[in-house]
Structure 1
């Protein structure tokens, strides 16, 4: 029997059990570490974008057939509206107020009336005073509707051909089109000094590639 107070030395039977316990614990730790590592690697692999996702983000916003703005070629306007008249558009020889010149094939224009009136100021910049009211008619003798959306009517007065301002009140421009066999009417009220009403130049601009129709005369 060992002396009192000295630790008892392990017996041969207890030593193998301790070694087996340590081996089991170490093996369990290794297994847990392997499982954790496998989960981490699996998680990283799942975070990578799939080929489908990459393909979808590369598509333009308008789809495969659209343009860069997302539109589609089939959505482009197919309007036959003529180009608007401009300052370089040639002019036809002037005609009298009783004339009925041709604008385009099958379409003529005439001044139904050109009378002196008093202009009414409504919008900012307008000044009430002497004015001229021009009523025009566009006659379509062709077999199809004619676009009038670009028609511009102007008036100048005096020897210096001063451009006249247009009053909003009383003015009603030509409609967007005139049907075959029909007549369209446009009314325009211009600011013109009373002393210049006998020297007027009324122009009708149909489109940039069509000569401007010119009427000359005096208001009644």
Structure 2
């Protein structure tokens, strides 16, 4: 059996153990917390590197751009011979009547116009109809529609004779009068007794239409009347004085 001295020594060692145990536990906890913190910081750095596009990858939702021009970019640039019009469009120089270039002007209408004839002469379209001004009357225009003005006017009756073997469509046919002293287009007016062409003229048939225009007596010299049967036919022109 142990003597009193041995029991006292064992008791002191036990008490020493009891005093040291509470101090060891906190050190282990501190180490665990430090390790966890290091793991969290490391994960955060890795995530930041991934989001910043490291290693050549792109950020989600952000398109990559190249600083060096490509062949497509070079071909899309305007050449020095092109001139840019307002709004980003390109104006192409076109030749005027003298053969010079006028940038930005529209290309002139290349539609054929037959040489003008006198009011009392017929104008024949090759392989198509023969058109003539059968009557020109001085009348008093009566305003019916908005924009029309009552006053001095002329009524022009135009005749279309179909000498071909096919019917000719006249649904888009139009007659225009230009005042001689001003060379301005005269305003059409409904009355008296204006009437359009019928929708067509059959083979060997003749039809006519009557067209009324506002025209003061002071503008009845060097008058020009144009008949436009369709876009597939040339314009037909008549010129002269209206008595």
Query: Which TM-score band (shorter chain)?
Result: 0.5 to 0.7
**Which has the higher relative contact order, 1 or 2, with Cα contacts under 8 A spaced 6 or more apart?**
1
| Equivalent residue number for residue 191 of structure 1 | 214
Correspondences of 1:71-86 after superposition (within 5 Å)? none
**What is the RMSD of the two structures over their aligned residues, measured on CA atoms?**
1.8
Decide which of 147, 156, 176 is 1:125's aligned counterpart. Answer: 147
Decide which of 178, 183, 187 is 2:201's aligned counterpart. Answer: 178
Where structure 2 has 5 or more consecutive residues not aligned to the other structure, the ranges are 1-107
Report the CA distance between 1:105 and its aligned residue: 1.4
Q: Is the 8 A contact 2:176 2:227 kept in 1?
A: yes
Q: Is the 8 A contact 1:106 1:141 kept in 2?
A: yes
Q: Is the 8 A contact 1:116 1:197 kept in 2?
A: no
| Equivalent residue number for residue 135 of structure 1 | 157
**Offset from partner CA, 1:172-196 (integer Å, 9 cap, x none):** 1111100111101110000111111
| Equivalent residue number for residue 154 of structure 1 | 176
| Equivalent residue number for residue 35 of structure 1 | none
- Change in CA separation of 1:155 and 1:171 when aligned onto 2, cut-off 3 Å: same
Matched, 1:112 2:134: yes
**Offset from partner CA, 1:81-119 (integer Å, 9 cap, x none):** xxxxx9653311110001111135141000001121111
Report the CA distance between 1:154 and its aligned residue: 0.3
| Equivalent residue number for residue 215 of structure 1 | 238
Q: Where do 4+ consecutive residues of structure 1 move more than 3 Å?
A: none
| Equivalent residue number for residue 53 of structure 2 | none
Structure (1 or 2) with the larger CA radius of gyration:
2
| Equivalent residue number for residue 202 of structure 1 | 225
Q: TM-score, normalised by structure 2?
A: 0.52
Report the CA distance between 1:211 and its aligned residue: 1.7
Q: Aligned pairs, how many?
A: 135
Q: TM-score, normalised by structure 1?
A: 0.57
**Offset from partner CA, 1:104-149 (integer Å, 9 cap, x none):** 5141000001121111111121110111110011001222211111
